Amino acid sequence: MHHNGLRTAVLLGALSALILAAGAWLGGGSGVRLAFVVALATSCAAYFFSDKFALAALRARPVAEVEQPVLYKIVRELSYDARQPMPRLYVSPTMQPNAFATGRNPRNAAVCVTHGVLALLDERELKGVLGHELSHVYNRDILISSVAGALATMITYFGYLGLFFGSDDDEGPGFLGALLVMILGPVAASMIQMAISRSREFAADESSARLTGDPLALASALRKIELGVRRLPLPENGRLASTSHLMIVNPFRGAGLGKLFSTHPPIATRISRLERMAGYRR
């Protein structure tokens, strides 16, 4: 918990500094002041409304227990075992198999699964996936990821603003400078997200294995989800890109730069670690 709080502070500081640097480069003193206000507003919006942004990106809707009794049963049992409050449950109409958790803390958390993952997994595998997502909630990972996504998106917007409004005289960065900001800003933000996200995925896998007592169930689910994502990759648009790091498996095709800056560790590595856990338990 302490480490996550420290990482959140470092992450906020690093991404906010990039925003301020972009503002200074694009508009001097006035740009810094504007960038400070924007960074503060973005951080507050990410803290209070990150769940709404993520759920809207996947067109998720809340579901009642009568609609998804198995889903409610699994989450209720896991929440009881972990002595944590029950999160809100959502289902996305997306046919790609995937799942994610969002919100700022366990009392304000939401867990979302897609129609694709409900159709693909059996109950044991679904329990492993839900254990993974609940582990993100309990480890406070979702706040870190949500703030990272919001601030990284803002850096990208600053790059676009510089591209369209930068001048070529001595008072502004000009076209080439703005283009540099547009390219390097998102790359830097993606690298920070990658460092945070990869470590938290391993930790959530291990926490899920301990919570469910069945690491092989999650390993089996990851195999199936990876194949499903390959068959039905999501389009890499802006709204989905800012949510992709929350998902249990990278929802995109993963080619080129998308693979280089992937926020998820390789599925094979995650499965191998889970299988080692199962072997140790035996």
Measured distance CA(259)–CA(238) in Å, rounded: 17
DSSP, res 248: S
Q: What is the pLDDT along the chain (282 residues), one digit of tens a residue?
A: 445 556 656 666 666 676 677 667 666 677 677 777 877 777 677 677 777 878 988 999 999 999 999 999 999 999 999 999 999 999 999 999 999 998 878 898 999 999 999 999 999 999 999 999 999 999 888 777 666 666 666 666 665 665 555 544 545 555 555 565 556 555 655 655 665 667 789 999 999 999 999 999 999 999 999 999 999 999 877 677 777 888 999 998 765 445 545 668 899 999 999 999 988 544
HSE at residue 275, side-chain half, CA atoms within 13 A, is 11
Active-site annotation holds for 236: no
34's tokens? 């504007």
CB 102 within 8 A of CB 123: no
- In this prediction, residue 143 carries a pLDDT of 72
Name residues whose C-beta falls within 8 Å of residue 96's C-beta, 6 or more positions apart in sequence.
Answer: 114, 116, 228, 229, 232, 233, 234, 251
DSSP, res 265: -
Helix (H/G/I), strand (E/B), else coil: 255: coil
- In this prediction, residue 236 carries a pLDDT of 78
CB 20 within 8 A of CB 35: yes
Which one-letter amino acid corresponds to residue 64? A
Q: Is 211 left (phi over 0), alpha (psi -120 to 50) or beta?
A: alpha
CB 189 within 8 A of CB 151: yes
Name the H helices within the chain: 2-57, 69-82, 115-120, 123-138, 141-165, 174-212, 215-231, 238-241, 257-260, 267-281
Q: What is the pTM (predicted TM-score) of this model?
A: 0.78
First CA to last CA across the chain, in angstroms? 30
- β-bridge mates for residue 101, sequence order: 111
Residue with tokens 């689910």: 221
Q: Is 213 exposed, middle or buried (0-12, 13-18, 19+ CB in 10 A)?
A: exposed
Measured distance CA(190)–CA(261) in Å, rounded: 6
Catalytic residue among 133, 201, 206, 226: 133
25's tokens? 């480069």
Q: What residues does each domain of the chain span?
A: 2-281
192's tokens? 């920070």
- In this prediction, residue 257 carries a pLDDT of 47
- In this prediction, residue 282 carries a pLDDT of 45
Residue with tokens 């094979």: 268
